[in-house]
Amino acid sequence: MYWKKRSHEQVKEYIFKALDQNLDYRGDRPILGIPGTYLDTTEFYPDAPFLKDAPFMSAMVRNPNHIGVHTLSEDSVLEVFEGTQKIEKELVKLVAEEIFNGDVDHQDGYVATGGTEANIQAMWIYRNYFRNKFGARLGEIGVVYSQDSHYSMPKGANILNLTNIILEVDSETREIKKESLEQKIKEATQDGIKYFIVIANLSTTMFGSVDDIDMLGDYFTKLNVQFKIHVDAAYGGFIYPFTNTTSRFTFQNPYMNSITADGHKMLQTPYGTGLFLIRKGYFDFVKTEEAQYIPGKDFTISGSRSGANAISMWMILQIHGSEGWKYKMETLCDKTERICKKLERMGVEYFRNPHLNIIAIKAKYMSKELANKYYLVADSYEFEPEWFKIVVMPHVKQGTIDAFLMDLDSELRGRK
Ligand SMILES: *Cc1c(COP(=O)(O)O)cnc(C)c1O
C-alpha cells in the first residue's frame, strides 16, 4: 500500500481543475435539458470570498450530480460532470487497489449514502445474481450473518425479501460459533435455502470484533453450495488495513467479493460517504434498463447523489498519503491499547480486537451513571445492558480518558 501525500495547495488545484472540467451552470455552455442547477444563491452565494480557498465547499455550491457508477466504462455517465466523476473513479481505484490490494482495474464501486446502502447494494446484487444465473427463487436465498452484525442486514433482507440466518457468537470472544453455523445452515437447508449471501464483519459496531472470513469461505466451499461473501467494513475499512499488515480482507482473498467501507466513520468525511466496492462483472445484475434518460444507465440504489461526497473522501486520503493515515490510525490504536492496560490493572474485563479502537467493557464493572457521564454506548437500550463501549475516535483527549479511568477506579474501590 502506498500513495504519496499531496499538499493543501495541490489538492485544491486538482479539485478546482476537475470542477472546471465539469460544465458550469454559470458558464457559457447552453445547458437546457438537465433537471439540476447550482444551489440557491440567496443563501449560497457563489462569490463568497472564502470559496476560492475551499474546494469542498466550492464543489457543494457547484452541485455536480454523480448519479450512476463511473468505473463501468470509459465514457462518463453524464458528460456534464465528467471532471469530478473522474475523481470518484480515481477514489474507487485507490481504495480498491491500494487499501484492499485489488488487481489493477479489476474492481467497480461508487460512493453510496452510507454503510446501510452499500450493504443493501451488495445483497441486491447477489440476490439478482443467484436468480439470473441459477434460477433461484426468492424463498431459496438466505442472508447469513452473526448476531453482532449491523441492523442494515435485517433491514436489507426485509426490503429484498430474503431469509435471515443469524449466527450466534461466543459471549466472550464474539467469534461466530462453528456449532451455530453448522446448525443454522442445516436448518436453513432443510427449509429450502440453497443460495447464501454471507456477511463477514470487518469490525462490528458494538465490539470491534472481526469475523473469520476464511472459516466462513471454507465452510461454504466444503458444503458445495452457491455463496458469495460481502464484507461489512463500514466501521473498520479505513483503520484495520492500516493497523494490520496481514489482513485477510483484501481482494487477493478470493472469498472477498465485495466490501463496504464508510468514509463518514473512521475517515472523518461528511455524512453521505459509504463506499461500496465489488469485483468487476457483478454490477450488471442490478442494471436498471428503465433508466433511459441516464446515458450510462443506473446501477445503484440511490440515484442522484452529490459529487462533493466523493471529492471529500479523495481529498482526505490525498492530504495524508498512505503513510500519514497509517500513522494516524496506529496512534489511535496505541491510545486504545493504553486504556486496555489500565483496565487490566484494575481487574476490569473487556473485549477488544488489537487492530481496532473499540473497547467493549463488561457492564457489571460500572454504574449506568458513570457510563452516561462519558456517553459510553450500551449494547442494548431495550434490555439490561451487558456491555458499554468506548470508541477512541480522533476527538478523544487523553485528559478525558484519564478522568474516566479515575472515576471508574474510585467507583470500583468504593464497592470493595
Ligand atoms: C455504521 C455501520 C453501518 C451502517 O452505516 P451507515 O453509514 O450508518 O448507514 C453498517 N455496518 C457497520 C459495521 C457499521 O458500523
Of 74, 64, 77, residue with least CA distance to 21:
64
CB 387 within 8 A of CB 362: yes
Question: Is the pLDDT at 78 greater than 80, yes or no?
Answer: no
The residue written with cell numbers 450488471 in the block is 284
CB neighbours of 367 closer than 8 A, spacing ≥ 6? 411
In short, whether 232's Cβ falls inside 6 Å of ligand 1 is yes
pLDDT digit string (tens) for 147-200? 999 999 999 999 999 999 999 999 999 999 999 999 999 999 999 999 999 999
Q: Look at the domain 74-305 and name its fold.
A: Aspartate Aminotransferase; domain 2 (3.40.640)
Residue bearing the bigger pLDDT, 27 or 284: 284
**CATH assignment of 322-415?**
3.90.1150.10
Question: Region 132-142: what's the mean pLDDT?
Answer: 98
Q: What is the pLDDT of residues 222-274, one digit of tens each?
A: 999 999 999 999 999 999 999 999 999 999 999 999 999 999 999 999 999 99
User: Which numbered atom of ligand 1 lies nearest the CA of 271?
Assistant: 7
Does residue 235's CB lie within 6 angstroms of at least one atom of ligand 1?
yes
Tell me: pLDDT of 407 over 70. Answer: yes
Count of alpha carbons within 13 angstroms of residue 262, beta-carbon side = 22
Q: What is the torsional sign of CA 299, 302, 307, 312?
A: negative
What pLDDT score was predicted for residue 289?
83
The rounded mean pLDDT for the chain is 96
pLDDT for residue 77: 66
Q: Out of 143, 150, 151, 211, give the residue to mutate to test ligand 1, the one with the largest number of ligand atoms within 8 Å of its CB.
A: 150
* In the predicted structure, residue 338 carries a pLDDT above the cut 80: yes
The verdict on the CB of residue 273 being under 6 Å from ligand 1 is: no
pLDDT of residue 295 exceeding 90, the answer is no
Give dist(CA 220, CA 213) in Å, integer: 11
Predicted structure pTM score: 0.97
**Any idea where the domains of the chain sit in the sequence?**
23-62, 74-305, 322-415
d(CA 118, CA 174): 24
Residues forming a β-bridge with 195: 141, 226
Residues with Cβ < 8 Å from 383, sequence gap 6 or more? none
222: CA distance to ligand 1 center in Å? 31
- Dist. CA 151 → ligand 1 center (Å): 8
pLDDT digits (tens, 9 = 90+) for 39-70: 999 999 989 999 999 999 999 999 999 999 99
| Distance between Cα 358 and ligand 1 center (Å) | 15
